[in-house]
Amino acid sequence: MKRRAAAAVPLAAALIAATPTHASHNPAATSRVVIDTSDVGRFFALYDDPAFASDPDALAARYLATPSPGLVEFMAMRRITPERIAAALREKPQVFADARGCAAKLGNIRSRLVAATDRLAALYPSAKFPPITIAIGRATTAGTANAKGLYIGLEALCAAKFIELNDEDRFVNVIAHEYIHAQQPLAQSESRDMTVLYAALVEGAAEFVAEQISGSVGFPLLHKWAKGREAELETAFLAEKDEVAIGSRWLYNQQGSDGWPGDLGYWIGYRVAKAHYARSPDKAAALREIIEMQDPAAFLAESGWTPGMAL
């Protein structure tokens, strides 16, 4: 996805106390993955200060004065500045208030993410384990990744209930999806000219592998909506696969419009990846080929997928 009131002071204090830099739920994971949520606790500690609650500019400036290394990278990638966070706090106050509910679940989310990365290590021995940073952004980007790490905007992902209604499941499964992007060669660069096919297979591959490690795709509501319409939708996709992804009806169109859900290309790419996996006798090799895909057109041709096929 390259793009979405409890007691105040006690919660902030609990978040700061419960955010060790390294996951510590099993010895292997300690050296494998860093899950940094320190920015969230620091944000809500400042957010609770009456001196700053009425001054979004001061709050934003102080929050970004001592960012974690992951937040520094996130800021550069998604143009997060004090001015933009201050504007978001003024324009979308409920988004930040609601983010407390998700922040309170970070303990369980952390445990499940450690288990998911353990599973990734078992299924894909070549996996890299860049750090995961969960921070407060400017209410626009739920998640993104590059070779240095994975970056989650807690407030944006908390608000993205159209992806998955359950907060904990949404965080775990979307973060698993984004973590697969950190493994994919094709996901390491962004181009505004990438085709529908390219983007759908990058995103769909991440969906399929994320399901293997976390137990579910990141965008389950797409599967529910598309059930029974497979042949119609996938035939239409093939006719438009060479269009530019950005601006199409298949990808990166938020919640979609006129009864057509956003990011439907994720679902189709998932089905192509699943078809490839199903027909391969060597599942470990098939998973590696899905992650390390280099040529989307060749992968599609070799996958055995056809519109409407049963999977």
Q: Burial letters for 30-65: b for 16+ Cβ neighbours within 10 Å, e otherwise?
A: eebbbbbbbbbbbbbbbbbbeebeeebebbbbbbbe
pLDDT at site 1: 52
Q: Tell me, what's the pLDDT at 13?
A: 31
Each as own residue / partner, the long-range contacts of residues 278-282 (CB below 8 Å, 24 or more positions apart, any chain) are: 278/304, 278/311, 279/303, 279/304
Along the 311 residues of the chain, how does pLDDT read in single tens digits?
Answer: 544 322 222 333 333 333 333 333 343 444 488 999 999 999 999 999 988 888 999 999 999 999 999 999 999 999 999 999 999 999 999 999 999 999 999 999 999 999 999 999 999 999 999 999 999 999 999 988 777 889 999 999 999 998 899 999 999 999 999 999 989 999 987 788 999 999 999 999 999 999 999 999 999 999 999 999 999 999 999 999 999 999 999 999 988 888 899 999 999 999 999 999 999 999 999 999 999 999 999 999 999 999 999 99
pLDDT at 4: 34
Angstrom CA distances, 40 to 5, 95, 101, 119, stand at 16, 14, 12, 26
Determine the pLDDT at residue 22. Answer: 39
Q: Are 23 and 35 in contact (CB under 8 A)?
A: yes
Cβ atoms of 305 and 138 closer than 8 Å: no
**pLDDT at site 160:** 93
Evaluated on CA atoms 163, 169, 173, 179, the torsion sign reads positive
